[in-house]
């Protein structure tokens, strides 16, 4: 008797896959607890989960010549060129290649970190710098006078979702539109738009814990419930409506937003949100 595959009629749908990239030196930290709560809930709701625990892995943060196995130490290091060559030839270090495999595997990526000096901890920035190789996260697609590559909504990670889960010491008011620290959406824009939307992710609104130093057991339970709700919406929640580079909103070759597309008075980062 021959067995002929008739496709996937009876096959169970593939479980959705989530990569959590976590940056905190203390396993018993609030960040560690949020990461554990996320992992448990995602597993309980039928996902496959991978965690990159940067401190536990002893992640090397600084990109340098050692990242490019075929680099000739007698020649000047040009990072972009070396990155592109090494990526194309499979000559990046094993730790970087493993993380790139996880990115390809994942349907969604969540970055869990404390806000340190208005940005991500250096170890997480180092994960981006080293894992986001030329040819994977940038330098993708046609580059010409008519087209600046596949980026900002297109690129290697198009079709995947991403979300930040961030703890901040400051108060919510301090991060409001008129708050002294600046608006949280502006502070996180370089990560959400520059690091995540650039290589193609659909970026969900960030999950932000304010006054994180004051979290107690009761508040943690409330945070856990809010986080569960966000995770339950991981595949259905509307992403931040960032404009796509190649969808006609920008002039060529300047890539300036065409005038008249924004709501009157809109300025700054908000220009790159579709007016809805
Ligand atoms: P932890 O110190 O681990 O915990 C915070 C609180 O949560 C504690 O009360 C702890 O008991 C409680 N907790 C932990 N786990 C649990 C649990 N499972 N259940 C119940 N309660 C729990 N803040 C800003 O707003 N802007 C900045 O630019 C900024 N820059 C910083 C730069 C540096 C270098 C540092 C060290 C801090 C900075 N901060 C800033 C503050 C920083 O964001 C907070 O310290 C951080 O968010 C706290 O997260 P954590 O995981 O380290 O908390």
Q: pLDDT per residue over 215-229, tens digit each?
A: 999 999 999 999 999
pLDDT at 13: 80
pLDDT exceeds 80 at position 6: no
CATH code: domain of residue 101: 3.40.50.360
- 177 domain-assigned: yes
Number of domains in the chain: 1
Which of 104-113, 117-126, 142-151, 247-256 has the lowest average pLDDT?
A: 142-151
Residues 6+ apart with CB under 8 A from 39: 20, 49, 51
- 160 domain-assigned: yes
Residues 6+ apart with CB under 8 A from 175: 168, 181, 182, 183, 184, 187, 208, 210
- 256 domain-assigned: no
pLDDT exceeds 70 at position 237: yes
- The alpha-carbon radius of gyration of the chain (Å, integer) is 20
pLDDT at 166: 98
Q: How confident is the model at residue 146 (pLDDT cuts 50, 70, 90)?
A: confident
pLDDT exceeds 50 at position 49: yes
- 5 domain-assigned: no
Name the residue of 34, 38, 168 whose CB sits within 8 Å of the most ligand 1 atoms, as the mutation to test its pocket.
Answer: 168
Q: Report the DSSP beta bridge partners of residue 19.
A: 50, 109
Distance from the alpha carbon of residue 18 to the mean position of ligand 1, in angstroms: 24
pLDDT at 8: 52
pLDDT exceeds 60 at position 275: yes
pLDDT at 3: 40
The residue whose CA has the least distance to atom 42 of ligand 1 is 169
Distance from the alpha carbon of residue 55 to the mean position of ligand 1, in angstroms: 16
Residues 6+ apart with CB under 8 A from 235: 16, 107, 108, 161
The residue whose CA has the least distance to atom 52 of ligand 1 is 29
Q: Is there a contact between 199 and 155 (Cβ–Cβ < 8 Å)?
A: yes
Domain of residue 32: give its range. 17-239
Question: What's phi and psi for 187, nearest 5 deg?
Answer: -65, -35
pLDDT exceeds 60 at position 98: yes
**Full-model pTM:** 0.95
Residue-wise burial string across 137-163, b where 16 or more C-beta atoms lie within 10 A, e elsewhere: bbbbeeeeeeebbbbbbbbbbeebbbb
- 251 domain-assigned: no
Q: Is there a contact between 144 and 55 (Cβ–Cβ < 8 Å)?
A: no
What secondary structure letter does DSSP report for 241? Answer: -
pLDDT at 10: 62
Task: Write out residues with Cβ below 6 Å of ligand 1.
Answer: 24, 29-31, 33, 114-118, 167-170, 212-213, 215-217, 220
- Minimum-distance ligand 1 atom for the alpha carbon of 31: 51
- 265 domain-assigned: no
Mean pLDDT computed over every residue of the chain: 95
Distance from the alpha carbon of residue 220 to the mean position of ligand 1, in angstroms: 12
Q: Is there a contact between 140 and 149 (Cβ–Cβ < 8 Å)?
A: yes
Q: How confident is the model at residue 199 (pLDDT cuts 50, 70, 90)?
A: very high
pLDDT at 145: 81
- 142 domain-assigned: yes
> What is the mean pLDDT of the segment spanning 72-81?
96
- 11 domain-assigned: no
Burial label for 31, CB within 10 Å (0-12, 13-18, 19+), is: buried
pLDDT at 14: 86
pLDDT exceeds 90 at position 78: yes
Instruction: Please state, for a pLDDT cut of 70, what percent of the chain lies above it.
Output: 96
């Amino acid at each position: 008797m021959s067995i002929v595959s008739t496709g996937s009629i009876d096959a169970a749908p593939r479980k959705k896959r989530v990569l959590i990239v976590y940056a905190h030196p203390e396993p018993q930290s609030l960040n560690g607890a949020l990461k554990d709560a996320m992992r448990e809930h995602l597993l309980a709701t039928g996902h496959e989960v991978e965690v990159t625990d940067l401190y536990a892995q002893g992640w090397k943060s600084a990109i340098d010549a050692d990242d490019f196995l075929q680099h000739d130490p007698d020649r000047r290091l040009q990072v972009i060129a070396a990155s592109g060559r090494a990526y194309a030839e499979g000559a990046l270090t094993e730790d970087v290649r493993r993380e790139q495999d996880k990115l390809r595997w994942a349907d969604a990526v969540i970055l869990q970190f404390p806000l340190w000096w208005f940005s991500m901890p250096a170890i997480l920035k180092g994960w981006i710098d080293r894992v986001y190789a030329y040819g994977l996260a940038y330098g993708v697609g046609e580059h010409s006078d008519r087209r600046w590559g596949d980026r900002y909504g297109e690129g290697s990670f198009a079709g995947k979702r991403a979300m930040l889960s961030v703890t901040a010491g400051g108060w919510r008011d301090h991060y409001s539109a008129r708050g002294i620290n600046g608006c949280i959406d502006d502070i996180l824009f370089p990560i959400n738009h520059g690091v995540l939307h650039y290589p193609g992710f659909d970026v969900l609104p960030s999950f932000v814990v304010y006054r994180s130093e004051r979290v107690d057991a009761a508040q943690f339970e409330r945070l856990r419930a809010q986080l569960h709700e966000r995770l339950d919406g991981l595949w259905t929640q509307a992403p931040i409506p960032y404009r796509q580079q190649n969808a006609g909103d920008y002039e060529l070759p300047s890539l300036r937003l065409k005038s008249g597309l924004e709501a009157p008075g809109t300025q700054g980062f908000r220009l790159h949100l579709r007016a809805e």
